[in-house]
Structure 1
Amino acid sequence: MLRWGVVFQQATLQTDQLPKFEDSKFVCNQFDGKKQVVASVKRSQSEEGINNTIDAETCVCLNLEDLKCFEVVEHQYEHWGVILQNSVAIQPSNPAFPTNSGLTVLMGAPKSGFLEAKFLRPVSQVSACVTSSQRLVMSAYDRDRQLVAQSILPSANLANSDSALHPNTSLSVTNQNICSVSFCAFDGQFTISAFCFCV
């Protein structure tokens, strides 16, 4: 079972260096030739109009470090063009769910094993790093809720397990008409980091 809690500094010093959000660029760098934007959360009405800076050559990577631990995440990135559902920000204390950069990840909650992202306009590619206690399916849908792409983590990839898959495995889907993506680990628990999408 995934335990929630604050990660203390000594628990993150395994590599003698604190992880930083910038370390997640390896995921966003797979979008060669596109402008990359690190998306901060919207905390005030004065941040209107940011969505206008996103054009057809832009990839947006969510900065989860702006979120508070246990914060329900829904409309914080709406000005960047995405609304999340059944999502909470956590700083995992369970070593089976390590972070790949920073301290904060997303987890499906209150309904365990499910998280959805809806885009305000169609996107062409979505990627995320996932750590899951079970097989996980990332599905992309068009405006009519028809499945257009899918990526699968075939088995659990918890740290310190006998899994052949590393924690924080990158999954991605590509299609010109992605209006939403869902992450589903049937009756399992998972974390998401380095969530990026390209218009």
Structure 2
Amino acid sequence: MVKQATLQSNKLPTIEDAEFAFDKFNIQNEIKASACRNQVESAIDAARISVPTCIFLDLEELKCFEPVERQYERWGVIFHNSLAIQPSNPAFPTYSGLTVLMGAPKSGFVEATFLRPVNSVSAFVTSSQRLVLSAYDRDRQLLGQTALPGSNLANSDSAISPNTLLSINVNNIYSVTFCAFDGQFTIDNFHFCL
């Protein structure tokens, strides 16, 4: 079951309440992207892609406290201000596996830049306060936003479950930012679709 919050968008619809689920994307090509450089993997040829292709980042190969920037560059994404962690605080449970991303050295902010435009970006997030996911075009013009309306820490009185799916779907996304305005948050199962 996919957990989700009721989210608002300032421009374009991003999550359709009961209609959003991984199996409704009509995805025929799914790729689990590894950070490990010694594996032989096929490169993505954007010119040959005719059906939606989604890249799911495998964070489990990252070392705890490893700065994450260009490990997934060959898959088309570069991170800024991101650190791999294995949360020891039970308020920040993982969605799957042991490793998640968080903003560091500047807390409350993570950016992902795509080498070619994507049409959908999603991740499971747990945050200490309101978290905004913003999508931008090539010229850094805002395409749309969606937000986790408040804290969703585990073992709290929040009405929102930890690891809530945030998603934004709009054409020609060149970068996204996650911003919790001086709060702490984790990102798990980050994926994007071409």
Shift of 1:42: 4.1
CA distance in 2, matches of 1:163, 1:178: 31
Superposition CA RMSD, Å:
1.9
Q: Secondary structure at the match of 2:45?
A: helix
Structure-2 separation of matches of 1:33 and 1:128 = 17
Tell me: higher relative CO, structure 1 or 2? Use CA pairs within 8 A at least 6 residues apart.
Answer: 2
Confirm whether residue 33 of structure 1 aligns to residue 30 of structure 2: no
Provide TM-score, normalisation by structure 1: 0.82
The whole-number CA distance in structure 2 between the counterparts of 1:28 and 1:86 is 28
Q: Which residue of 1 aligns with 2:56?
A: 61
Give the equivalent residue in structure 2 for 1:118: 113
Structure 2 runs not aligned, ≥5 long: 1-19
Contact 2:136 2:143 in 1 (8 A): yes
Query: Aligned partners of 1:170, 1:48: CA distance in 2, in Å?
Result: 28
Of 32, 44, 56, the match for 1:51: 44
Amino acid corresponding to residue 185 of structure 1 in structure 2: A
Quote the residue 1:148 is aligned against: 143
Counting aligned pairs with the same residue, the percent is 65
1: CA distance, partners of 2:170 / 2:162: 26
Q: Could you tell me how far 1:43 is from its partner in structure 2? A: 2.2
Shift of the alpha carbon at 1:31? 2.7
1: CA distance, partners of 2:104 / 2:119 = 26
- TM (norm. structure 2) is 0.84
> What corresponds to 2:5 in structure 1?
none
The residue type equivalent to 2:110 in the other structure is L
Residue 101 in 1 paired to residue 96 in 2?
yes
For these two proteins, the number of residue pairs brought into alignment is 173
Structure ranking higher in helix proportion: 1
Report the 3-state secondary structure (helix = DSSP H, G, I; strand = E; otherwise coil) of the residue aligned with 2:74.
helix
Match of 1:51, as an amino acid?
Answer: I
